[in-house]
Amino acid sequence: MIDHSFTVFIDESGDEGFVFRNPPDKGSSDWFVVSAVVSFSNQQDRVRNLAARVRAAIGKEPKNLLHFADMSHERRVRAYHEINQENLRFVSVLVNKREIARPEIFQAQRGRLYYYSVRLLLERVSWLCRDAAKKRGLASPSARVILEHRKRLRHDDLVAYIARLTTISAEDRWLADSAADVRIDWNVIDARLMETAAKSQYAGLQIADIVASGIRTGLEANLYGNTEHRYAKMAVKQTYQRSGNFTSYGFKFFPTIPDSTHEYMHWVYKHCVG
């Protein structure tokens, strides 16, 4: 395998649908969140040990997978407490689907919203790895990227999409539009170092599930119309930022960041906006 300094685990929370309902009715999620957990490649034992500590702390058997949806509130808080002890960084793309002006663009072909979100995510992951490599004097800023396997989406299609962002044909309007102003640092991201895997294969994917789901819970109203932002606030500690600027880096809102009048944005403006 090509030498790499970082290992990045990516998972998502929410769905890509656009059939919305207001609570308590169920429909598509309002938010689609894709999160990356960034670690040093030579510290993967620590990632595995972290997952083991979380399982022990919340009373799960060693063979059990960590899944945010299966945890009670108390266990989620404890999981975040354990995660906060590790040298990890988070990057998240937060898609406010109700505010997308032309949802038909993303509905035209399965996976488009996911692909585009991953592209935005990899931009910021690449900046983080580039800066960290420079700061630590690492020989290479390159990252191995492991995405949670998704049904009905082929790994080869995702890799091809990322690879084609470097050479876009104007004939492919969707690809050309999605590649406009691509700011991925290609010294960090290499399609040959991208793979998909099941959560059972990598502890880091289980941590990414907890991060993505916890952040979405801070934005997405439940069946009673309430949000729970404690997990998201705990994630802020390890979220990528520059000089206190989170919303251009570790928290990328798409299509735009909602204004502070929205109650669900209270924690963002209090903890992440200078």
CA–CA gap between residue 62 and residue 54 (Å, rounded): 10
CA–CA gap between residue 261 and residue 206 (Å, rounded): 33
pLDDT at 169: 47
Per-residue confidence band for 171, with pLDDT thresholds at 50, 70 and 90: very low
Can you read off the two tokens belonging to residue 271? 């903890």
Please report whether residue 232 resides in a domain. yes
What is the tens place of the pLDDT at every residue in 8-18?
999 999 999 99
Q: Is the pLDDT of residue 248 over 80?
A: yes
Can you read off the two tokens belonging to residue 66? 């960590």
Q: Which residues pair with 89 in a beta bridge?
A: 38
Q: Is the pLDDT of residue 35 over 90?
A: yes
Please report whether residue 229 resides in a domain. yes
Question: Which residues, 6 or more positions from 85, have their beta carbon under 8 angstroms from its beta carbon?
Answer: 50
pLDDT at 165: 76
Mean pLDDT over the full length of the chain: 92
What is the tens place of the pLDDT at every residue in 76-105?
999 999 999 999 999 999 999 999 999 998
Q: Is the pLDDT of residue 195 over 80?
A: yes
Q: Is the pLDDT of residue 254 over 90?
A: yes
H or E segment and range at residue 155: helix 155-164
Buried b (16+ CB within 10 A) or exposed e, 135-170: eeeeeebbbbbbbbeeeeeeeeebbebbeebeeeee
Please report whether residue 237 resides in a domain. yes
Domain residue limits at 121? 6-271
Average pLDDT over residues 247-256: 96
Q: Is the pLDDT of residue 230 over 70?
A: yes
Q: Are 128 and 242 in contact (CB under 8 A)?
A: no
pLDDT at 170: 44
Please report whether residue 183 resides in a domain. yes
Number of domains in the chain: 1
Task: Choose between 102 and 207: higher pLDDT.
Answer: 207
Q: Is the pLDDT of residue 217 over 60?
A: yes
CA–CA gap between residue 70 and residue 166 (Å, rounded): 40
Can you read off the two tokens belonging to residue 197? 């895997």
Please report whether residue 147 resides in a domain. yes
Task: Choose between 30 and 191: higher pLDDT.
Answer: 30
Tally Cβ neighbours within 10 Å of residue 267.
16
Q: Are 193 and 158 in contact (CB under 8 A)?
A: no
pLDDT at 166: 67
Question: Which residues, 6 or more positions from 180, have their beta carbon under 8 angstroms from its beta carbon?
Answer: none
Per-residue confidence band for 175, with pLDDT thresholds at 50, 70 and 90: low
CA angle centred on 185, ends 254 and 181, rounded to 5°: 45
Tell me the percentage of the chain whose pLDDT exceeds 70: 93
Q: Are 97 and 31 in contact (CB under 8 A)?
A: yes
Is residue 24 reached through a cis peptide bond, with omega within 30 degrees of 0 on the bond before it?
yes
Residue with tokens 């004939």: 171
Task: Choose between 167 and 222: higher pLDDT.
Answer: 222
Per-residue confidence band for 263, with pLDDT thresholds at 50, 70 and 90: very high
What is the tens place of the pLDDT at every residue in 117-165?
999 999 999 999 999 999 999 999 999 999 998 876 777 787 788 777 7
CA–CA gap between residue 62 and residue 20 (Å, rounded): 38
Please report whether residue 1 resides in a domain. no
Q: Is the pLDDT of residue 176 over 70?
A: no
pTM of the model: 0.93
Q: What is the CATH number of the domain that holds 10?
A: 3.30.420.10
* Half-sphere exposure in the Cβ direction for 188 (13 Å, CA): 24
